[in-house]
Amino acid sequence: MLKPLSLFVFVALISLRPSLSYSQCNSLRPQISIDFDTDQDCAPVTVTDFTITYFFNTAQNPADIEIRFEWNDPGNTIDVINTGNGLASAVGNTEFTASAPPFTYSDNNGQCTIIPTAFIYINGVLCPTSEEIQTAFFWGTDEQANAQLFINPGTYDVCYNNPVTNAVFVDNSEFNCNINVEPDRPNEQARHVQFVYGTNHNAAATIRDLSLQDGGTQPLTNGTGGLVTPQTRGTAGMPVTGGYFGPIETVPFPANAPISQSFPMNAPANMANAVGNQFEITLFNWNICNPWNGNTANPNYEDAVMTTAYITIVDAPDPDFLTREDNAAGDVTDIFCIGQTIYFDNETTNTAGLGFTWEFYDDATGTILLNTSNNNNPTFIYNTSGQKFIRLIAENPTAQGSCIESFERVIMISPTMVAQIGITDLSNNPIYGLFCQDASNLQSFDVRLGDISTGMPNTFTQWRWEFYNENNLLVREEPAAGAFSSTILGPFDQSFNGIGVHRVRIIIRDDATDCETVDEVEIIIYENPVADFTATRVCEGQLTRFEDASVLNAVNGETIILWEWDFDYDGVTFNKDGAFDNQTSFDRLLTPADTLDVALRITTDQNVCTHLVIKPVIVDPMPLASISANQANGCSVLDVTFVNNSVGNQPDIIQQYIWEVDDGSGFVIDSVQSPSDPGFSSLFVRSFENFTSANLTYQVQLRSVTVNNCETIGTPVNIVVEPGPRSGFSILNYSPFDDNCSPVSVDFEVDAETIALSPVSYIWTINDNEGLVNQQNTGTIPTYTYNFVNDTTSVKDFSITLTSVLANGCSSDSTRQIRVNPVPPADFTIDTLHFDCEIMQLNMEAITKGLSEYAWELKVNGVTIFSTTTEGDSFERTFNKAALDQNIEISLQATNLANCQSNLITQSIVVPAREVINASFNATPLVQTLPDRTVFINNTTNAGPWSYEWDFGDGNTSTDPDVSEHTFDTFGTYIITLTVTNEECVEKAVTSIIINPIPPIVDFDYAPPFGCAPLTVQFTNLSQFADSASYFWSFGLDEGKSRAVNPTYTYFEPGIYTVSLGATNILGDTVRETKPLIIEVFEKPVAQFDVRPFIVLIPDQPLFTNNNSFGATSFLWDFGDGTQSTEPEPRHFYKQEGIYDITLIATSSNGCMDTTRKEGVVQAKAGGRVLIPNAFTPNLSASSGGQVGNGVNDIFLPLTQGVAEFEMLVFNRWGELLFSSVNKNVGWDGYYNGKLCPQDVYVYKLNLVFENGEQAVRTGDVNLIR
């Protein structure tokens, strides 16, 4: 019984351990202590220390703990540390430490990083959070891991007996662990690479007379293939022999990709350079993992990785081909038929790597190129006859030189002619042979078919023609019975009329080769389509339905491709509505109502056969149904006249008007009118009765119906009917046949029938055409008198209405008309038409026109001198002025067509007495010559209260009556005019004066007389007695001209200029004034400069200037930082960071200046740069003290820029200090204790502080060469 129990307990413990272990992992603290170190960065890398301590919150059993180190190497190596082999516990078993044994990563795992990892296990169970990963550099040489040395090209092929021209090899390697492969820990340290030319040289199988270009020509091999100057370099570990050693180039940090290429190599063509001969170039590579020893004379080639490339002589291709019928299995031949497939069988040997170009020509000499192909075995078809030139070009595309060879062959294409038919009309005009035909009216189409075949016939050429009708039946052949003619046939005139496709064939064959060529043309006669459609007749506003009914009997598969509609065709121009293109069933609203000519044009596709059909489509107009009533309400019985406003304006014939009345129980037909009824009128009169005690409302509407059954129902009119009496009255003393001139007094009296109704009041209302004139309530008095006044100029109608009001409030009225004629006005105007010293002319004109009579009367000083009724509405009268004033009276009385007479209107006017002025003067002399120009004047006008105005003809005037003289400014003919006026009289006197001119006096001034180009000079004209339009300026030889009075002129070219001015007077006398050499223009300098570099480091790096100015003797530089210089080409040091503008002012000896400014041309930056030479040659005669001299490389001194603090130390190989300097301008001259040191490699150390505060230490080697 105990054994089963113990087994059960054992199993339970086993199953509980993982849970227990995970529970123990939960007490693992995040705190971990790690020591990790490797011996180097390059493979093989040994992990020399990997010690890790884990910490727990609670004590653990050391026997349960183990720490595993997984190295993640290709062998998946794991080291386990437990209490048996070095696991240490501390602090009450809460800390556990393990150190991994040293582990070495070899160079075969292809990685750039090693990733050793540590874990802690409790009772064999991993604690996941315990994983600790360490990473470290694992670089290699540039042939390990991802790296690969590669020269491009690997082989530089040169065709046999061709020169080698500029053969260049490029380092195309991929560097070990570059940034693209390992972005986190890239191997970007500097590389060193070297090309060595002529390694492993075999003089018997090389490239003869090969050389390279390294600043000059360096021979590599001689005419027998031997190396010209063989050299051996390297250490004892690996000496290398070659014809030329290129420099060891540095690929600087960050070195992620190569930058080197070989020197160009050249060799002349030499038949001794046999196919297969080659010249070897070797590329050596060192990186941080196999570093160069720094010795250019004897590099450590044994540590370098290397690869080779070759210049190789290759053989030229030897092309050849055959021609076969149809395909690769066809017979070989050189005669083919037109249109036959020709297979070109490429017989070239060793085709691998070769490129082929086939050229197919249309002649026998290779002049007319038709096509090309790059296939190995192309096919081609010729469509023309004759000899054809074929060329196959084979090329080695990778080889330099003329590695191109060709093979040529001529083949024959038969027959010698290519069949072709020409189609024309009988006048020989080219046509297509396509016709459209009406099936109901067939016509014949005459076609001329001619032989226009190309090529030249030979003795074996034969011809045949065949004609097929629309049913494909042979209807004609030439020659007959299937024969061929040995002579050319045609042309043939043939008529075609059957609808369908007619075929005509010409067959030309070569009786010797049985090759033939055929041309076939089609004469197609299409049946015209028949356009048709249907359209519904509608009333205006309704949609018309269109349905296409066109028919086409198709020929050759033709179809109707276009339906076009013109909905308002004018019979001449088809204007389609593009929105309905290709519509065959649709609705459209047509406007306006009318009979519209709608055209449908259909078009087929192949020969554009068309047909147009025009059909009338009727849109009947809607009738009008508008009515109005003369009154809308009134007392019963109410007679209302309705006016049918639609009569006479209807757009269509009306069949009937239907009047309908609704008395409250719905509309019923009251009356039907037909325009054809006798006595038809637009009026409809109806009486509305109301015998109730309340108002009644009636509705009346009109329905208009046309003969085409288009119907419109108008808007109803409401009529309100009230109970009401009758009303009537009579006019006692008025007749419309009297003159009735305004004013007219009329008496009115209510008739007995109305009085009998006992109205409670009578209201009399007078209206004219402008509205209410008067209204009076006479109560129960049945009489009324009113005085009608017409104060207008036309007849005026008045209406008088009697409204009788019953006691119940209902009323009725009646109206009569009174016409009153106007009394015409007799107002008139008097206009003065002419008024001078002798006469006064007047015009009298009545304001009112068109009267029947105008009675004029004219009195002078109370005596009637004129009376008439025949002058009409106006007349004129002239009065002569007398010694005394005359009083004039004019009277007018007018009568109108109604025989009404106006009042008499009289106006008065005075004709003033005549004045005697006698304007006159004397002027002497009448003619004189400059400089005499004064005229003496004597005014002889009668004295009086006149106003005087003198005009001397030269722009000057005067109002002085006693002017005695006037002086003129210049020559000319002048008209002196004296104007004498009073209030109504004006008299003038005129005399002509002549002042003759003298020759002009020419002179001018100018400013400034000299200056820098461009020089603008203002010229001032001082001339006299000259015509202002005659000036002519000349500003110097090859300079401009001017006709301005005072010109301004700009001189652009330097020089001394003569200026002249010419002038002419009115008589043509010309004078020229020339002033020699008065204007001097100095040449302007040109300021130009360049600076370098564009970025300088402060404060040590100088900015150099290059002065390209010309024509200047002095200069002023502004460097943009507050400093200036007058040196021609100064050097400048910036002290502060920034981007600076530089300005240069160039000044000539004459003071002329030019300025140029370059913005942002230089940037001054803080920072530093150090350039350290690797060798120097001391002065053998004596120590120079380290001062830099004439630049012969006798001082070892690093070139610094942006360095604030400098210290240089020089040691020998045993560490002895030979030289020190804190002056960045003082270097080592190669001497120690006054003696020149021996030739050797020395070690330097630089301690530097740059301007931006950055510190740097540089160490390295320098070669002292003696």
CATH class of domain segment(s) 1089-1165: mainly beta
pLDDT of residue 1068: 83
For 989-1005, what is each residue's pLDDT tens digit?
Answer: 999 999 888 888 899 99
Domain 533-620 is of which CATH architecture?
Answer: Sandwich (2.60)
pLDDT of residue 810: 74
Residue 1168 pLDDT grade (very low, low, confident, very high; cuts 50, 70, 90): confident
With a cut of 50, say whether residue 466 has pLDDT above it: yes
Lowest mean pLDDT among 371-380, 786-795, 1048-1057: 786-795
Domain 2-137: what homologous superfamily? Answer: Immunoglobulins (2.60.40.10)
* Contact (Cβ atoms closer than 8 angstroms) between residue 132 and residue 75: no
In three state form, how does the secondary structure of 1028-1070 look? CCCCEEECCCCCCEECCCCCEEEECCCEEEEEEEEEECCCCCE
- Beta pairing, strands 538-539 & 610-620: parallel
Reduced to 3 states (helix: H, G, I; strand: E, B; else coil), residue 1194 is coil
With a cut of 50, say whether residue 1 has pLDDT above it: no
For 202-233, what is each residue's pLDDT tens digit?
Answer: 999 999 999 999 999 999 999 999 999 999 99
CA distances from 701 to 171, 661, 716 (A): 108, 7, 4
Q: Give the number of other CB atoms < 10 A from CB of residue 94.
A: 16
Cα end-to-end span (Å), the chain = 103
For the segment(s) 321-414, the CATH number from 2.70.150.10, 2.60.40.10, 3.30.70.270, 3.20.20.70 is: 2.60.40.10
DSSP 741: B
Q: How far apart are CA 1047 and CA 1075, in angstroms?
A: 16
pLDDT of residue 646: 92
Look-up of token digits 């006005």? 825
Q: Which fold has domain 828-911?
A: Immunoglobulin-like (2.60.40)
Taking residues 538-553, report their average pLDDT: 94
CATH class of domain segment(s) 417-526: mainly beta
Is the alpha carbon torsion for 20, 26, 27, 30 positive or negative?
Answer: positive
For 413-458, what is each residue's pLDDT tens digit?
Answer: 888 888 999 999 999 999 999 999 988 888 999 999 999 998 888 8
Taking residues 780-800, report their average pLDDT: 91
With a cut of 50, say whether residue 15 has pLDDT above it: no
φ and ψ at residue 27, rounded to 5 degrees: -90, 0
For the segment(s) 921-996, the CATH number from 3.40.120.10, 2.60.120.260, 2.60.120.20, 2.60.40.10 is: 2.60.40.10
With a cut of 90, say whether residue 349 has pLDDT above it: no
- The DSSP-derived string for 365-425 is SS-SEEEEE-SSS-EEE--S-EEEEEEEEEE-TTEES--EEEEEEEEEEESSEE--EEEE-
Q: How far apart are CA 1082 and CA 1009, in angstroms?
A: 11
pLDDT of residue 849: 87
For 43-54, what is each residue's pLDDT tens digit?
Answer: 899 999 999 999
The dihedral formed by the CA atoms of 711, 715, 718 and 719, expressed in degrees to the nearest 10: -50
Tokens of 1109: 């100015």
Lowest mean pLDDT among 102-111, 444-453, 737-746, 989-998: 102-111
Reduced to 3 states (helix: H, G, I; strand: E, B; else coil), residue 1201 is strand
Taking residues 1156-1165, report their average pLDDT: 92
pLDDT of residue 101: 96
Lowest mean pLDDT among 17-31, 271-285, 1135-1149: 17-31
Q: How far apart are CA 732 and CA 737, in angstroms?
A: 14
The pTM for the full model equals 0.39
pLDDT of residue 837: 79
pLDDT of residue 1191: 60
Same fold, 321-414 and 627-723: yes
Taking residues 1125-1141, report their average pLDDT: 92
CATH number at 1004-1082: 2.60.40.10
Q: Which fold has domain 627-723?
A: Immunoglobulin-like (2.60.40)
Residue 1203 pLDDT grade (very low, low, confident, very high; cuts 50, 70, 90): confident
For 164-217, what is each residue's pLDDT tens digit?
Answer: 999 999 999 999 888 888 888 899 999 999 999 999 999 999 999 999 999 999
For the chain, percent of residues with pLDDT exceeding 90:
66
* Contact (Cβ atoms closer than 8 angstroms) between residue 1005 and residue 1021: no
Q: Please provide the average confidence, as pLDDT, over all residues in the chain.
A: 90
pLDDT of residue 1192: 72
Produce one character per residue of 935-972: b if its CB has 16 or more CB atoms within 10 Å, e if not.
bebebebeeeebebebbbbbeeeeeeeebeebebebbe
pLDDT of residue 807: 75
Q: How far apart are CA 110 and CA 72, in angstroms?
A: 12
Within 103-183, where are the H helices? none
Domain ranges of the chain: 2-137, 151-314, 321-414, 417-526, 533-620, 627-723, 729-820, 828-911, 921-996, 1004-1082, 1089-1165, 1169-1264
With a cut of 70, say whether residue 8 has pLDDT above it: no
Q: Is 1142 left (phi over 0), alpha (psi -120 to 50) or beta?
A: beta
pLDDT of residue 7: 29
Taking residues 267-290, report their average pLDDT: 94
Q: Give the number of other CB atoms < 10 A from CB of residue 688.
A: 20
With a cut of 80, say whether residue 378 has pLDDT above it: yes
Q: How far apart are CA 462 and CA 487, in angstroms?
A: 7
Q: Is 500 left (phi over 0), alpha (psi -120 to 50) or beta?
A: left
Higher per-residue pLDDT: 402 or 44 = 44
Taking residues 132-150, report their average pLDDT: 88
In three state form, how does the secondary structure of 540-562 look? CCCEEEEEECCECCCCCCCCEEE
Residue 502 burial (10 A CB sphere; 0-12, 13-18, 19+): buried
pLDDT of residue 695: 83
Number of C-alpha atoms within 13 angstroms, CB side, residue 265?
32
pLDDT of residue 258: 93
Tokens of 213: 């270009």
Residues in the chain: 1266
Is domain 1169-1264 in CATH 2.60.40, yes or no?
Answer: yes
* Contact (Cβ atoms closer than 8 angstroms) between residue 53 and residue 130: no
With a cut of 60, say whether residue 11 has pLDDT above it: no
Report the helix count and the strand count for the chain, using DSSP H and E.
Answer: 2, 108
Closest among 418, 421, 416, 473 to 449, alpha carbons compared:
421
Q: Which fold has domain 729-820?
A: Immunoglobulin-like (2.60.40)
The dihedral formed by the CA atoms of 925, 926, 929 and 935, expressed in degrees to the nearest 10: 50
Look-up of token digits 């070759």? 310
